[in-house]
Amino acid sequence: MKRRTLNYRFSDKHREYLRKTTLSKYNIAEGSIRSGKTTDNVRAFAEDVMHSKDHIFLASASTLPTAKLILGDCDGFGLEHIFRGQCRWGKFRGNDALIVKGPDTANREKIILFAGGAKADSYKRIRGMTLGAWIATEIDLHHPSMIDEALRRQINADRSKLYWDLNPTSPTAWIYRDYIDKYDALSKAGTLVGGFNYQQFNLFDNVNLSPANVQAVLSRYSPGTVEYTRDIEGKRCAAEGLIYKLFANHHTEFNVKRSDVPVAEFAHIYIGQDFGGHKSHHTLCATAVTRDYKHVYVLKSETFEATDTDVDFVCRKLKEMVDYIRMEYGRLDGVYADSAEQTIINTERARMPELCIYNSIKNEINERIRATNAMICSGRLHFVENQNDSLIEGLCTAMWDETKDEDVRLDNFTTNICILDAFEYSWEADIADLTRW
């Protein structure tokens, strides 16, 4: 079979990083999204697969599908493309694996195990094995037990090398304290054996991105925000202050008149519902997503005190919201209610059998925050005026918890995050389509 040539283009910074991988055991590329850091590591890792005496290698990400997508495919520059015509997907000791044998490996069989590493018991997939080089994408999303086990499995390797990449996070995150910055300090002290190769990349270091693609990415971010500092500039940054700073400063610019709402373009309308308790609130939020998934319209949002209320009150307020949306917009496709309160949800289903009430999906909170910020920065989030005071206030006052090492939304009852949950529940089923723009 004729081999397809992979046309690599690297900036000087990437070339320097790749050159140092030949001399270093610890190779860590940190930086912005789309900066090319993973492509570097995949290419260098493949060289170890080709030329080391080791038989088994490891490729990992937070989940197995992510590992196969980012490291196996890698936009056409992944391991299955580098070894095209010399590899096949299969199983090895119960693990998904890319099995390589051909001219690049001197016709010796090489096994590249693919694994997810986010769970506490992920390490069990590789226990007892002797591993050669290890490549890991999004290393900060791996569980520490997986990292420690993979490092132990390399002790007898011919080329005991690692290739990690990650997007920047809080400077005090555990991945820096326990691993990356620790290795850096040991290297500078001259006590780290094997060589330390670290490089920080930003979006503009990737010469393969066209100006149009760069501009498309930039349109989703507001300069000065945590997301811009990390995802564009590729720098570590503590999450502090307002989460939605751009919106807080310009929230009136996101309002639309009821007469300007493009009802005919809606793919669906859902209500998100969060249930309150001690010091928190019952909240409802109705949003519509356009068929092209470019725009989200917040039609109505409401907050109610939860103290001294019962399930009858909750059902009545939901029914009022349902009736309003159906009367005003002619349709309602369902409700996404907080999945933690099954008793209330079952009562609502019994009292309103004609209404489709689903359990909230509850994507990871920071994923929902990133999606919201992306829609705000690209001007794709709209609020029907005079109908969303509680949600607008919630977005304007949402803050990061500065007492935490990780990125955590402040939840001490000083701000109304309950309305944010209801808002996010209403559209998070479409989060993949909404964020692809």
pLDDT of residue 414: 78
Task: Let me know: does 218 contact 232? Beta carbons within 8 Å.
Answer: yes
pLDDT tens for residues 203-242?
999 988 899 999 988 988 888 888 899 999 999 988 888 9
Do 103 and 250 fall into the same domain?
no
- Amino acid, single-letter form, for residue 349: R
Do 338 and 261 fall into the same domain?
yes
Three-class secondary structure of residue 90 per DSSP: strand
Do 254 and 305 fall into the same domain?
yes
Three-class secondary structure of residue 270 per DSSP: strand
CATH of the domain at 51: 3.40.50.300
Residue 227, in any domain of the structure: no
Do 52 and 198 fall into the same domain?
yes
Number of H helices, E strands in the chain: 16, 15
Give the DSSP H or E segment for 136: strand 134-137
CATH of the domain at 366: 3.30.420.280
pLDDT of residue 4: 52
Residue 83, in any domain of the structure: yes
Residue 240, in any domain of the structure: no
Per-residue confidence at 5, pLDDT binned at 50, 70, 90? low
Do 318 and 201 fall into the same domain?
no
Range of the domain at 199: 12-211
- Rounded to the nearest 10 degrees, the angle between the axes of helix 389-397 and helix 418-427 is 110
CA separation for the pair 60, 339 (Å, rounded): 31
pLDDT of residue 406: 85
> Structure tokens of 299?
């039609």
Per-residue confidence at 436, pLDDT binned at 50, 70, 90? confident
Do 308 and 390 fall into the same domain?
yes
Do 203 and 80 fall into the same domain?
yes
pLDDT of residue 225: 83
For the cut 90, the answer to whether the pLDDT of residue 8 exceeds it is: no
Lowest mean pLDDT among 164-173, 195-204, 276-285: 276-285
pLDDT of residue 270: 98
Do 205 and 292 fall into the same domain?
no
pLDDT of residue 240: 84
Name the domain boundary from 159, 191, 211.
Answer: 211
Do 128 and 271 fall into the same domain?
no
Task: Let me know: does 43 contact 22? Beta carbons within 8 Å.
Answer: no
- Amino acid, single-letter form, for residue 330: G
Is the model's pTM score more than 0.85? no
Task: Let me know: does 179 contact 147? Beta carbons within 8 Å.
Answer: yes
pLDDT tens for residues 301-341?
999 998 889 999 999 999 999 999 999 999 999 999 999 99
pLDDT tens for residues 109-118?
999 999 999 9
Do 381 and 287 fall into the same domain?
yes
pLDDT tens for residues 340-375?
999 999 999 999 999 999 999 999 999 999 999 999
Domain total of the chain: 2
> Structure tokens of 241?
């202050």
pLDDT of residue 437: 64
pLDDT tens for residues 250-260?
999 999 999 99
Do 207 and 254 fall into the same domain?
no
For the cut 70, the answer to whether the pLDDT of residue 3 exceeds it is: no
Query: What does DSSP assign to residue 35?
Result: S
Task: Let me know: does 151 contact 123? Beta carbons within 8 Å.
Answer: no
> Structure tokens of 424?
């996010």
Residue 3, in any domain of the structure: no
Task: Let me know: does 262 contact 254? Beta carbons within 8 Å.
Answer: no
Residue 422, in any domain of the structure: yes
CA separation for the pair 426, 179 (Å, rounded): 39
